[in-house]
């Protein structure tokens, strides 16, 4: 099976690997970027058959370019969504573009006669706002938006996925819908543009994190995330599905131990001590980007990926492989200098 697919956010981490996989399987791919001045750069690091790839300028918050981008497509993977390292001044800075971008992509997909639409959501839409009483979540769980401690990013992903599902129920017609909900995404890099999760390994390798806070995340390799998207796009008979995409939940100290155990002198700056919670809270007073980290102290948010494995035959790499692939890429590209 092959056709023409739109992958939004073509300069992004997950989108890049999905585009590669689709083209490798014989698909023609269209992708969106906010500005076509990036086209030569994006084509360069994707390194695919240029004849099978077309780029279009489109923005999450404006209609321009979307009809042209999706014209002739049978499948859409809506991957684009904002994920900044710093906490925004107001939640709507993330919530509005995430929600409106998803709804805009859905509207134009339906108008173009798209058969299957796959939304890149997140474990952030699943496992937040529940307190510390649970440590494993599945497709039936949703982030609790009534909890005021839920930070802007998980709020944006939850609002966007719920809005998308509500729209599909009311307006989607025959268009099939599924979401993929990844945890923290690691793995090899295609470019020097770093996703927020990659910054974790970068900062550990550079010694910018003096001690390891009591914070963690589910680990998943970007190649496995792309593969789950591909399977969700192409499997027969999917409708209103949701797929958790997460490997084991590891703390900062676990990631640090993996780097230390495998990289020798290249990991000499990686911290070996745990950071007391009170110290992290004090640091966050002067470094606002740490507010999201403080909110996660002591939490365990594991994801149960059995549904994706059983329904789609999907498998995933061990977390050590994903983490070390990130580290090797950062070092080989000179992004981290040892």
Q: Identify the structural domains of the chain with CATH numbers, from first to last.
A: 4-257+261-332 (3.40.50.720)
Q: For residue 241, what pLDDT is reported?
A: 98
| Terminal C-alpha separation, the chain | 46
Q: For residue 201, what pLDDT is reported?
A: 95
Q: For residue 142, what pLDDT is reported?
A: 98
Q: For residue 86, what pLDDT is reported?
A: 56
Q: For residue 87, what pLDDT is reported?
A: 59
Task: Kindly provide the residue ranges of all beta strands, DSSP E only, lying in the chain, ordered along the sequence.
Answer: 4-7, 28-33, 53-57, 75-78, 116-120, 136-137, 176-182, 184-186, 216-221, 241-245, 249-251, 302-303
Tell me the C-alpha distance between 86 and 203, whole Å: 14
pTM value is 0.94
Residue numbers annotated as active site: 157
What Cα–Cα distance (Å) separates residue 101 from each residue in 5, 41, 141, 245, 259?
Answer: 17, 24, 23, 22, 37
pLDDT tens readout for residues 78-101: 998 766 555 556 678 889 999 999
CA atoms within 13 A on the CB side of 104: 21
Q: For residue 278, what pLDDT is reported?
A: 81
Cα-to-chain-centroid distance, residue 24: 21
In this prediction, the residues of the chain whose per-residue pLDDT falls under 70 are: 1, 82-90, 289, 338
């Amino acid at each position: 099976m092959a056709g023409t697919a739109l992958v939004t956010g073509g300069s992004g981490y997950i989108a890049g690997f999905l585009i590669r996989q689709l083209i490798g399987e014989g698909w023609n791919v269209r992708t969106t970027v906010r500005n076509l001045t990036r086209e030569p750069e994006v084509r360069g690091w994707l390194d695919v058959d240029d004849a099978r790839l077309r780029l279009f300028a489109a923005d999450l918050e404006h209609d321009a370019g979307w009809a042209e981008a999706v014209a002739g497509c049978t499948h859409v993977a809506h991957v684009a969504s904002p994920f900044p390292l710093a906490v925004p001044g107001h939640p709507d800075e993330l919530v509005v573009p995430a929600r409106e971008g998803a709804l805009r992509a859905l509207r134009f997909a339906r108008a173009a006669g798209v058969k299957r639409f796959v939304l890149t959501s997140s474990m952030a839409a699943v496992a937040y706002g529940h307190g510390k009483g649970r440590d494993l979540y599945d497709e039936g769980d949703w982030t609790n938006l009534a909890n005021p401690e839920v930070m802007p990013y998980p709020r944006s992903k939850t609002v966007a996925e719920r809005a998308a599902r509500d729209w599909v129920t009311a307006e989607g017609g025959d268009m099939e819908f599924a979401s993929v909900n990844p945890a923290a995404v690691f793995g090899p890099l295609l470019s020097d543009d770093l996703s927020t999760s990659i910054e974790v390994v970068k900062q550990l390798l550079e010694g910018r994190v003096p001690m390891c806070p009591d914070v963690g995340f589910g680990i998943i390799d970007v190649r496995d995330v792309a593969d789950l998207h591909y399977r969700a796009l192409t499997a027969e008979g999917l409708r209103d599905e949701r797929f958790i995409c997460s490997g084991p939940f590891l703390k900062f100290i676990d990631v640090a131990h993996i780097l230390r155990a495998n990289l020798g002198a290249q990991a000499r700056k990686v911290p070996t001590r745990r950071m007391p919670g009170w110290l992290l809270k004090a640091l966050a007073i002067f470094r606002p980007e740490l507010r999201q980290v403080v909110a996660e102290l002591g939490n365990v948010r594991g994801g149960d990926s059995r549904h994706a494995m059983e329904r789609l035959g999907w498998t995933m790499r061990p977390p050590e492989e994903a983490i070390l692939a990130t580290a090797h890429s950062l070092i080989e590209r000179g992004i981290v200098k040892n």
